Amino acid sequence: MINITFPDKSIKSFSEVPSGLDAAKSISDGFARNCVAMELNGLQTDLHSNIDSDASIRFITTSDPEGLEIMRHSAAHVMAQAILRVYRNAKLTIGPVVEDGFYYDIDMEPVSEDDFPKIEKEMRKIVQAKYPFKRKEVAKSEAEGFYKGEPYKMELISELEDGTISFYGDGEFTDLCRGPHVPHTGFIKAFKLMKVSGAYWRADQSREQLQRIYGTAFFNKKELDDYLFMLEEAKKRNHRKIGIALDLFSFHDEAPGMAFFHPKGMEIWNALIDFWRLEHKRDGYVEIKTPIMLQKNLWERSGHWENYRENMYTSVIDETEYAIKPMNCPGGMLVYNQKQHSYKDLPLRAAEVGLVHRHELSGVLSGLFRVRAFHQDDAHLFMTPGQIQQEILGVLHLVDRLYSAFGLGFHLELSTRPEKSIGTDEQWELATTGLESALIAYNKDYKVNEGDGAFYGPKIDVHIKDALGRTWQCGTIQLDMSLPERFDLFYIDKDNERHRPTIIHRTIFGSIERFLGILIEHFAGKFPLWMSPVQVKSLPINDELIPYAEKIDKKLRSAGLRTEVDGRTESLNRKIREAQISQIPLILTIGAKEKDAGTLSVRTLDGKVRYGISIEDFLNRTLSHVEKRMLNLDTFWE
């Protein structure tokens, strides 16, 4: 008799050894059809696996994130199988699941996206055949015999420990794999090959160059269509194209991976930083600024020289080695240590928008999203252990306020102690409990990533969601038990003895450059009025009205608005159209009628026009809208 415990704690008994599929069917046939795999006593395995002793089981369905990942893993096998049918001399390497899909690295003749239809045609045949995925375990020697003539698989096998090695087969195809897989190829209902690129075997430029073919897959066609639609929308919102079109920033060969911000880009930058400073002052932060270049001995003390040296830019000055900072933290520690602190001084919240440099490989540079020079909105909070919860909670509320201003939702993930870490069990318990208690008090759902914390402390990662539903990890809140020791930080407590402060490292925007890139795509270049580089543009309908338009413009600028006058000798319709393409939120058309009446015709970006608006009324509405940092102009006329 086999007793199986289900997640709801119910127990079912089976007189014969059941498979996972049998257990699923005991619930219902409909439920079983939606099961992808199972978690048996906490370990993922195939539904075909037998359950030969009492066990706890959780089914992984098509609705679960793990189910999608398993199906995409199976889709990578199907793609490799199809490629071998089309390109018989191809040699397989590895094919992992990645975010939004999968890829397979293959030693084969060069292919392009023009070759994708014939590969997809074979994939459809394999899917329609509904080949079951069958697991087989063999001795290492047998595996080597099977893959004789396959150099990449042989290399992988040679690195495995002696013992059994698992294979998965479907139809005529067999691949070295740990699994699990979907029950059969028919589960891969909607797929598409996306792109092809070059890759070196083992990411080693001295090794063979391979073809890396990317694909994606979903459980139904609608999800695939939605994803492809999102990609098309993302192309339209590409921040690099919009940045050029709106004259916000540029990149130059003289400084690879380092953005040049133009005047209009700086207007957005300054609006963002002004907002950041205002909200931090409200929460009792002080702002500091530390040097961009510091001596090698500081980076040795912080641990960066040992662990991060290959990503740092260095220089020698007066026979002393220096490094340009890749992080702001060590400088912040020096500022704290400049004077003695009492427990009465804590918490001390010190923020810095610091310029940092990190050497990224040229192949991964990507507009504002991946650069070599960027500004981090760091803050270091120094506190007593008893203040951890309240300070974490304060950061979370600040995160909420800042992201809400841009209409960005977010979710939280807690990462706990990794296998390799520093600090005592007591310190980790205190730090993790502090984060957990703050998250509970914050009363928002969060995910736990066991063992994914930094080596020096647990952390909370903040993942924002943009207008296209894409998620970005920007903010992070980390508890650090390393730097207080390395820099001998202390405060004098009530007992008149020295004690180590607890440190929170945190960013909210993360990289300001990357966050701006996200915002450009989130808003598709149509920034809220308070962020727009040009908030108001005046369009006089002829040259005689330019002086009057400039008079109005001067009044608006004096009130703090960012304005322009388009005095070109062009038709009014053309000037309106160009202002709209430039995403100007408020467009004023000024003719003789407006001059004589002392009024304005106001056109909003959605094309709606209001006539006969007094200058004072317009100015007051605009300033109020900017001050409140409203997201859109829907309420402008209310």
Tell me the β-bridge partners of 494.
none
Instruction: Report d(CA 403, CA 91) in Å as an integer.
Output: 48
CA distance linking residue 534 with residue 206, whole number of Å: 51
| 287-297 burial: b if 16+ Cβ within 10 Å, else e | ebebebebebe
Q: For the purposes of burial, counting CB atoms within 10 Å of the CB of 463, is it exposed (0-12), middle (13-18) or buried (19 or more)?
A: middle
> Is 280 one of the annotated active-site residues of the chain?
no
Catalytic residue among 240, 329, 537, 562: 329
Using alpha carbons only, give the angle 56, 58, 64 rounded to the nearest 5 degrees.
165
Catalytic (active site) residue 474: no
Measured in residues, the chain has a length of 638
CB count within 10 Å of CB 282 equals 10
Between CA 33 and CA 21 the distance in angstroms is 9
Residues 6+ apart with CB under 8 A from 563: 534, 535, 536, 537, 538, 553, 556, 557
Task: State the sign of the Cα–Cα–Cα–Cα dihedral 118, 119, 122, 128.
Answer: negative
Assigned token pair, 309 = 């040296």
Q: Which is catalytic among the residues 459, 522, 537, 603? A: 459
**208 contact partners, CB below 8 Å, separation of at least 6:** 107, 200, 201
Tell me, yes or no, if 580 is annotated catalytic.
Answer: no
Q: Percentages helix, strand, coil for the chain, rounded to the nearest 5? A: 40, 30, 35
Given a contact cutoff of 8 angstroms between Cβ atoms, the answer to whether 479 and 459 are in contact is yes
d(CA 327, CA 312): 10
Q: Which of 217, 261, 210, 221 is nearest to 105 (CA)?
A: 210
How far is the first Cα of the chain from the last one, in angstroms, to the nearest whole number? 72
Three-state SS string across 56-121, please?
EEEEEECCCHHHHHHHHHHHHHHHHHHHHHHCCCCEECCCCEECCEEEEEEECCCCCHHHHHHHHH
Q: Which of 72, 505, 621, 625 is catalytic?
A: 505
- Beta-ladder partners of 539: 589
Alpha carbon separation from 473 to 60, 268, 326, 440, 519 (Å, rounded): 26, 21, 19, 21, 13
Which of the following is catalytic: 378, 461, 480, 566? 378
Is residue 358 part of the annotated active site? The answer reads yes
C-alpha 147: how far from chain center: 39
505 is catalytic: yes
CA distance linking residue 510 with residue 180, whole number of Å: 36
Active site residue 205: no
Catalytic residue among 170, 181, 304, 376: 376
- Cα separation, 102 vs 194, in Å, equals 10
Q: Which of 184, 264, 357, 380 is catalytic?
A: 380
85 is catalytic: no
Omega prior to 180 cis, within 30 of 0: yes
Say how far apart CA 206 and CA 215 lie, in whole Å.
27
Q: What is the rounded distance in angstroms from the CA atom of residue 87 to the CA atom of residue 620?
A: 69
Which residues are catalytic, by number?
329, 358, 376, 378, 380, 459, 505
